[in-house]
Structure 1
Amino acid sequence: MKIFYYILSIKLKCIAILPFGVIYILSDIMAFLLMHIFRYRRKVVKMNLQNAFPEKDKKEIYKITKDFYINFADLFFETIKASHISIETLFKRLKIENIEIMKKHLSSGRSLIVCLSHRGNWEWLGLVFANAFKYNGYAIYQPLKNNFFDDYMKAIRGRFRKECLVPAKQTARIILKHKNEPSYY
């Protein structure tokens, strides 16, 4: 099994160094395969969209389904790319609006809890936050069951970070421990 993970880590590194144009071509291929060939969770996606948007017709649901698979594949490859991307490239590709509001709160000694929707690449945002603020940050994460992938994701998330990674079950404990320090979570 160690050989498998060794080979996989080499493949992931090879993908990470590819230029963005190639990354997004691979992403489009993966989206097509997941949606049309493997039909990965297709019934669940369709049912959830029909329940969420009962007013939409089949054509509109199909378009949203297709967009979901494209976004899913983009996030997959962008996460791999995060293991190699420079902070300068991240700042060019990711715009945080109203960041001055967050900086103002932190500089006044107050902490922040940042809540995000299921849109965009959280891994990239975490890497940008680590360089945008001079304050401690704590990224809350759900540990993965597979040790290889858990270590891989922690390595990506910790590339530029001053803050530490906090398993979700320890969140309250960490917030209380650092309650007198301006931090972001």
Structure 2
Amino acid sequence: MFPNWQYHLLKLASRIVCLMPYPAVLLLGSLLGRLYYRIAGRQRRRALAQIQECLKLSPKEAERIIRRLFINVGRMFMEVMYIPALKRETIKRYVTIENRHYLTDALAQGKGVVFLTAHIGNWEWLGAALAMDGFPMTSVIKRQPNEQYTRILNEYRRLAGIEIFARGSTELVGAAKALKQGKILGFLADQDGGRDGVFAEFLGKMASTPKGAAVFAKRFGAPVVPTFIVRRPEGGHRIIVHAPLYYRDTGNEQADVANLTIRMNRVIEETIRQHPDEWLWFQKRWNTKVETLFPTTSTMAGEAV
């Protein structure tokens, strides 16, 4: 009877959240995250198992980190609801940008920028803060299982000034045009890449990695600028921009794409190791099993560095 009720409920919640002071938003998010930790048993168990295996932690240490992760997820949800309250002047109170010159210098090359990030920290505020700071942000997004949640996310992304393109659609033509126009094209590159991904080591385990960022960097000669956002102890966020990576053309396209993808993986891995409570450990990152699909691919990818 009311097909869009979830969207309208989220919009109402967002309006209420936008009336709150930012510290209250964080406090409410922390409480929501603690509740999420208790009720999301399947995700909690997957996160605990994966972080123990990858980082070789004790059960007690793993539980401490994953509990903080869930609290951060709750904070992120509330911060997303708070996006309409953000303005260019106000977001600077909450977000600082480190090594901005890497991004501005890469843009100055005139070939566009492949913007590499991951599900670390509040990645929605990452794009919003840069767009509000004047950077020409565009992003390739994966639709959420819940279309109404996708709708509100895209609405708030556009509100912040981000141009959106859907993965696996004709909109990718627009994404290519954005790079040609010298814009920044964002990729979240830490999810399972499926059968078409590059199989390489990620946090000590073989995983399929999406190769879209590497393919766009190759096709347009664009620098890849890894950039992540992490929380500050006093509240708010730090955006950390890393030195650009470049596609190395040796004449072997498959190996060259794998090489760049593996180098991108390593930057993401290092950030996760430095901020383990900021990454979504309950993702099905290792869902595609390389051994059962391509028995020799893992070795080839591992050597293409």
- Quote the offset at 1:178 in angstroms: 4.2
Structure 1 residue ranges without an equivalent (≥5): none
1:59 aligns with 2:96: no
Q: Give the aligned partner of residue 165 of structure 2.
A: 166
Match of 2:137, SS?
strand
How far apart, CA to CA, are the structure 2 residues paired with 1:176 and 1:35?
40
Select the structure that is richer in strand. Answer: 2
Q: Give the aligned partner of residue 149 of structure 1.
A: 149
Change (3 A) 1:7 1:36: closer
How far apart, CA to CA, are the structure 2 residues paired with 1:174 and 1:155?
18
Match of 1:115, SS?
strand
- For 1:146-166, what per-residue CA distance to the aligned partner results, in whole angstroms no more than 9, with x for missing partners? 3322221111101131x5211
Aligned CA-pair RMSD: 2.3
Q: Name the aligned partner's letter for residue 72 of structure 1.
A: V
Q: Give the aligned partner of residue 184 of structure 1.
A: 184
- Quote the offset at 1:73 in angstroms: 0.9
Q: Give the aligned partner of residue 114 of structure 2.
A: 113
1:4 aligns with 2:8: no
Q: Name the aligned partner's letter for residue 155 of structure 2.
A: A
Matches within 5 A, 1:25-174: 25-37=27-39, 39=41, 41-54=43-56, 56-133=57-134, 136-161=136-161, 163-170=162-169, 172-174=172-174
8 Å Cα contact 1:137-1:164 kept in structure 2? yes
Matches within 5 A, 1:6-21: 6-21=8-23
How far apart, CA to CA, are the structure 2 residues paired with 1:152 and 1:8?
8
- For 1:52-82, what per-residue CA distance to the aligned partner results, in whole angstroms no more than 9, with x for missing partners? 122x222211111111111111111111111
8 Å Cα contact 2:47-2:66 kept in structure 1? yes
Q: Name the aligned partner's letter for residue 141 of structure 1.
A: I
8 Å Cα contact 2:80-2:125 kept in structure 1? yes
8 Å Cα contact 2:31-2:71 kept in structure 1? no
- TM-score (norm: length of structure 1): 0.85
How far apart, CA to CA, are the structure 2 residues paired with 1:108 and 1:3?
44
8 Å Cα contact 2:137-2:163 kept in structure 1? yes
8 Å Cα contact 2:165-2:175 kept in structure 1? no
Number of aligned residue pairs: give it. Answer: 182
Q: Give the aligned partner of residue 234 of structure 2.
A: none
Structure 2 residue ranges without an equivalent (≥5): 186-305
Identity of matched residues, %: 18
Select the structure that is richer in helix. Answer: 1
Change (3 A) 1:37 1:7: closer
How far apart, CA to CA, are the structure 2 residues paired with 1:98 and 1:108?
17
Structure 1 residue ranges (4+ consecutive) displaced by more than 4 angstroms after TM superposition: none
